[in-house]
A and B are shown apart, each in its own frame.
Chain A
C-alpha cells in the first residue's frame, strides 16, 4: 500500500486518483469513414464527406478500429462485450461537424479489466499493485481549432475529426502521483506492445483526464475534480500533486471542493477551473440510429486473441526465468517493445552465429546491449531505430568475442568503427589486424621485457604489494597493442612473478 500522504495543517490526507486515457487507435483510416489518419498532414487534407458531416452522409464502422480496441481489451485481461452499441453525445462546437460525437456510453465494447504496476522503490512504489480498469469504449475524435491564422476568425482543421479513440477508464485505485505516473506508463507500454496506439503523447495520440480527490485516510471519497487533456506522464504526476495540495488547502481553509472540469498550465504548474458542474453540458446521449448494435462473433474474437503478441509482464518473466537475465536487464529490455524486438533479433542471430542455444548467449547479448551498445549509441545521439548496426551485425561482433578471436576491449574499438563506417566486425578485425594473440611464446617474451624494465616494481610486488599486479597486466597489454588474450597474460604473469 502506498504510504503517500499530504501533510496538511490539520493532519494527514490521502489522495485518490482515477484516469481516463484517450488513446488514438492505430489504423489506416478513421472510425466511421475511409479517410486517412496520418499525423501532420496539410489541414483539411484528410477529410471525407462523412467527416465533414455533409447532408445525408452516414457512418460505417471500421473493422480494424474495433479489432484494435478488442485486442487492447484482451491485453488488460478485460471482459469483451460481444454486444455493444454506439451512442451519440450531442453538443455544439465548431470542431464537431456532426453536432454530436459518436461514442459508447451505455454499452461499451470492453468491460472490466486491470493492469499491474511494478514495485520501484526509487520511484516511491514500495510494492507492485493492481489497478482496476472499468471499461474501454470506442469513440470519434473531434477536429482542431486554429486561432492564429486570422486576426478575427478561427479556422477549423478537420483532419482529426472522426479519428478513432479508445477511452480507457480506470477505477479510482491510485493513491499517489507515482502510482498515477506508473499506471499511465504501463498502459502506454501495453498499447505499444499490442500495436493499438503509438503512444506518442507529444503528438496527442495519448492524453489523460485526471480525476483527483482527497480524503482523510479511511474515510469515504471526497469530491473530485477532472483535469482535462494532460499529455505526459510527468504532467499527470504534477497535476495530481498540485491538485491534491490545492484541495487540501481549500478544505483546511473551510472551503469545499467543487466538482468541476479543470485545465493544467504546465508553465505555472497549476490547474485552473474550466467549467463547473452547473454549466456542464446536457449531452442528450441516445443510441445512434445510423448504426446497428456491434455484434462480435467467436471467430473474430479468436483472431484478435491469436494476433496478440507476448505482453511486457510475460516477456519480463521469461527473460528472467527462461533466459537467466538479471531483473534489471529484463526490465530495461522490455520497457519499450522496440527494444525487446531488437534484443530478440540480436539473441537469435547471436545463438545462430555461435551455434549455441539462446539461453546460453542471453547474458552475453543482454549485457553487451544494455552496457556497451546503448552507451555507444547514446554518444552518437542515436537510438536502436536509427542504429547503423543491425542485430545481425552485432551478433557477428559478439561471436568474435565469444570464440576468443578478439578481447572485450578490442570489441569496443571494433564497435566504434562499425558505428562509424557501417562495416562488418569481421572485416574490421581482419583489416586492422586486431585478432587476439594466444601465442604463449610471444606473450612470455613481452612479459620478460616488461619485468626487466620495472625491476623496482617487481621487487615491491614480491615484497607483498600485490596491487601492482594490475600494473604489470596493463603494461603487457599495452606493449601488445591490446591484442593479447587477457586470461593467458594473467596466467603467464603469475608464473613469471613467482
Chain B
C-alpha cells in the first residue's frame, strides 16, 4: 500500500469510504508527519493531533454504523491560523493575539468539520496575512520543504499562506485552507508546486476570519490536485447570513463538473502581463501553458487589460487603507495583548500595546493606510484608487466578452531565499504583480503547478475566470495539470 501521507484528498476520502484504511490510520499517519517536520519546517503555530484523531474516530464510527459520510470524511487538514477556531489558539501569526482562544468557530472551518474533516493544527502565515514570504510571522518563518539541488539555503514557501503551502508540499497534510487578499493562496501554491484557488469574492464566508482587507479577503482551498481543490471548495463555499458580502448563490457541484476538454473555449493571453524583463523561465513556462491549453482544444486569443500596470499601486492603497481600520480593534482593551506601562493613560496604553503587538510589516501597512485615508490625501489616493479599481474590473469584464478564461504566470520568479527580499518592501510587493489584478476585480483565480525551473524549483501557472465561473478555472487548471505531468515533490531532508 502507498504511504497514506502520499495520498491525495480524493484518495483518502475514497479509501476511507471503501474501508481500504480507516480515518484513524490516516490521522495517525499525518499526525506523525506533522510532528516529525515541525522543528525543521515550522509550518504550524500549534498542532492539534487530538482534534484530528477525534474527528477521524467519529468518521470511523459513522462508517461502522452505516451513517452517511460527509464530503471530506476522514480527511485531516491544516487550518491557516487566520481562521477562528473555537477553543484553539488563533493568532494571525501575531504577538497581539498570542494566546487568544476564540469562543467561536469561523463559518468556513465549521463547514469543513461538518463535512467530516479533522484539524491537524493551525498553520503559520505572514502576520495578519501581510507578506509574500512568511517572514513576517511572529512565530518564526516557515521554511519551504523545497531546496535548490545540492543547496541547503532555506527558501521561502511564499505567503501569506506559507504554512499551508509548505505543509501540503511536505505531505504533512493533504489539503489546507488558505486566504487570499492579493495572491496569498496562489503565490505560495506556485512556490511549492501545489494547487490553490481563490474563488469569486463572496463565495466563502469571511465570518470568523481575522480581517486584513475586507473588500479583497477570500478564503480558498490549497491541495496537490485540481480535483482536491474542487472537492474542498465545495465544502467551504456557501451563503452565510452573517457576512453581508456573502454571495447568495447555490454551491455548484464543482467536482462532478470537472472536464479537461477545452474544445470551444477561448483562452485570453493578456499582453500587458509580458512585463519588461520578465524572467525567461517564467516566460517559457507561460508558453508551455499556452501550448497545453491549445492541445486541450482551446483557442488562444491575445487580449488587452490596459490598466494592469496600475493594479499594484492601487492594491497597495486599498488593502492598507482597509487594514489600518480593520486592525484598530487590537487596542489592548478587551482581548489579546495589553501593554500597560506603570502610570500609563489610555493613549499611552494604546501606543505601548500596538507597538509591542504588531510586527514591522503590519505597522508599515497601518501607516500607509492611515496616510492614504487622512484628510487632504483621501481623494488623491483612496478615491483615485477606487476609480482605478473599477477600471481594472472593467478591463476584465470586457476581455471576458471575448474569452472564457485568462492564462498568466502566477508569480514573476521562482521561489527566493528567505531574507533575500527583506531589505526592500517594494521588491517584495512586486511579487504580487500577476495575482493582484484578479483580487481587485473579485474574480476566481487559481494557480496550478507547471513544472520545475532550471533551479529545480516549482513554477505555477495562473488562471483567471469570469465572476462565479470557478468551474471554468478548475477545468482549465485540470487541462494544464494533465499535460504538465507535474509529479515532483521535495526530497525529504527534515
Contact = CB atoms under 8 A, between A and B. Distances in A.
Interface of A: 49, 52-61, 88, 90, 92-94, 97-100, 156, 282, 284-286, 288-292
Interface string B93-111: 0000100101110100000
A93 to B, nearest CB: 8
Contacts of A285: 373, 378
A55 B90 contact: yes
B333 A90 contact: no
Interface string B289-324: 000000000000000000000000000000001101
B254 interface: no
Q: For chain B, which range describes its interface: under 10, 10 to 19, 20 to 34, or 35 or more residues?
A: 35 or more
A54 B325 contact: no
A288 B214 CA distance: 9
Nearest to A50: B242
B242 A94 contact: no
18 contacts: A49-B104, A55-B84, A55-B90, A56-B106, A56-B209, A60-B244, A90-B325, A93-B346, A94-B346, A98-B328, A99-B329, A284-B325, A284-B370, A285-B373, A289-B215, A289-B322, A290-B245, A291-B245
A49 B207 CA distance: 11
A60 B325 contact: no
A60 B242 contact: yes
B241 A99 contact: no
A283 to B, nearest CB: 8
A286 B325 contact: yes
B227 to A, nearest CB: 29
A49 B347 CA distance: 24
Task: Determine which residue in B102, B244, B374 has the highest number of CB atoms from chain A within 10 A of its CB, and name it.
Answer: B244
B234 interface: no
Given A92-B331, A92-B350, A290-B245, A56 B374 contact: no
Contacts of A58: 206-207, 242-244
A53 B242 CA distance: 14
Interface in B355-399: 370, 373-375, 378, 382
Nearest to A152: B343
A286 B382 contact: yes
B194 interface: no
A175 B347 CA distance: 40
Interface in B3-26: none
Contacts of B209: 56
Contact of B325 (A52, A57, A88, A93): A88
Interface of B: 83-84, 90, 92, 97, 100, 102-104, 106, 206-211, 213-215, 241-245, 321-322, 324-325, 327-329, 331, 333-335, 346-347, 350, 370, 373-375, 378, 382
A289 B369 CA distance: 14
Given A59-B244, A92-B328, A156-B334, 11 more contacts: A49-B103, A52-B334, A55-B211, A56-B102, A56-B106, A90-B324, A92-B347, A99-B331, A286-B382, A290-B214, A290-B244
Task: Tell which of A55, A60, A284, A288 has the most Cβ of chain B within 10 Å.
Answer: A55
Given A284-B325, A284-B374, A56 B211 contact: yes
A88 B334 CA distance: 20
A43 to B, nearest CB: 14
A368 B242 CA distance: 55
Contact of A90 (B84, B242, B373): B373
Contact of A54 (B214, B335, B373): B335
Contact of A56 (B208, B333, B378, B382): B208
A100 B210 contact: no
A60 B327 CA distance: 19
A273 to B, nearest CB: 20
A474 to B, nearest CB: 75
A92 B373 CA distance: 15
A94 B215 contact: no
Contact of A284 (B97, B102, B215, B373): B373
A289 B104 CA distance: 23
Of B206, B214, B329, most buried by chain A (CB within 10 Å of CB) is B329
Contact of A289 (B106, B207, B214): B214
Given A100-B328, A282-B375, A57 B207 contact: yes
A460 B214 CA distance: 98
A54 B334 CA distance: 9
A241 to B, nearest CB: 34
A60 B102 contact: no
Contacts of A59: 244
A292 B245 contact: yes
A97 B332 CA distance: 10
A90 B334 CA distance: 18
A96 B215 CA distance: 22
Nearest to A287: B386
Given A55-B90, A97-B329, A286-B378, A60 B241 contact: yes
Contacts of A288: 214
Nearest to B370: A284
A285 B102 CA distance: 29
Given A284-B373, A286-B382, A55 B329 contact: yes
A61 to B, nearest CB: 7
A361 to B, nearest CB: 52
A54 B92 CA distance: 13
Contacts of A286: 321, 325, 373, 378, 382
Contacts of B214: 288-290
